[in-house]
Structure 1
Amino acid sequence: MTQRNPEDYEPVAEFANNAFYDQGFPKQETHFDELSKYLEENAPYLPSMTIFDDAWVLYQAQD
C-alpha cells in the first residue's frame, strides 16, 4: 500500500491503487505465497504477476 499514488500510472502504483480498492485483498498478509495465490485467483486488475513481483521486492526493501 505504500506504493499507492493516484497521480502515478506506473504499473506498481496502479497495482497498489487497485489493491487498495479491492475489498477482499488481504492487506495485512505478509507471506508471498498467500498474496500471490490471492492475486492469481482474484485480481483481474493485475495484468501480469511480474508487477506483483516488482512490488514485493520494493516491500522487502522497506523492512
Structure 2
Amino acid sequence: MRTFYQFLMTFRGKNKPDDQSKLANWVFHDHDFPKHSTDYYEISNYLEWNSPFPNALVVFDEIWEMYHL
C-alpha cells in the first residue's frame, strides 16, 4: 500500500490550482510532514497544528476518503 503522501502527490501540478493541489504542493515543500505515514490520526494531528490554509483539514478528509477507496 502506498503512503498517503504518495497518493497526495498525484494532486500536484494542476494548471488551475484548487484546494487539493494547494494542499499537495504545501505538503511537498514541508520537510516535517509525516511522509511515511498511513495513519489518519498522525497526519490529521500534524495538519491541525500546521494547517497551511483555513479549510486544509476539510480538504485532507476529502482526499483521505479517496485514498481509502
Q: Which bin holds the TM-score, normalised by the shorter protein?
A: 0.7 to 0.9
Give the 5 Å matches for 1:1-63: 1-43=9-51, 45-48=52-55, 49-61=57-69
C-alpha RMSD of matched pairs (Å): 1.4
In structure 2, do the counterparts of structure 1 residues 8 and 29 end up closer, same or farther at CA, with 3 Å as the change threshold? farther
Q: Percent identity?
A: 37
Q: Which 5+ residue runs of structure 2 have no aligned equivalent?
A: 1-8
Aligned residues: 60
Q: Distance in 1 between matches of 2:67 and 2:16?
A: 18
Q: Distance in 2 between matches of 1:35 and 1:16?
A: 13
Deviation beyond 3 Å, 4+ runs, structure 1: none
Q: Which 5+ residue runs of structure 1 have no aligned equivalent?
A: none
Paired letter, 1:42: N
In structure 2, do the counterparts of structure 1 residues 30 and 46 end up closer, same or farther at CA, with 3 Å as the change threshold? farther
Alpha-carbon distance, 1:56 to partner? 0.7
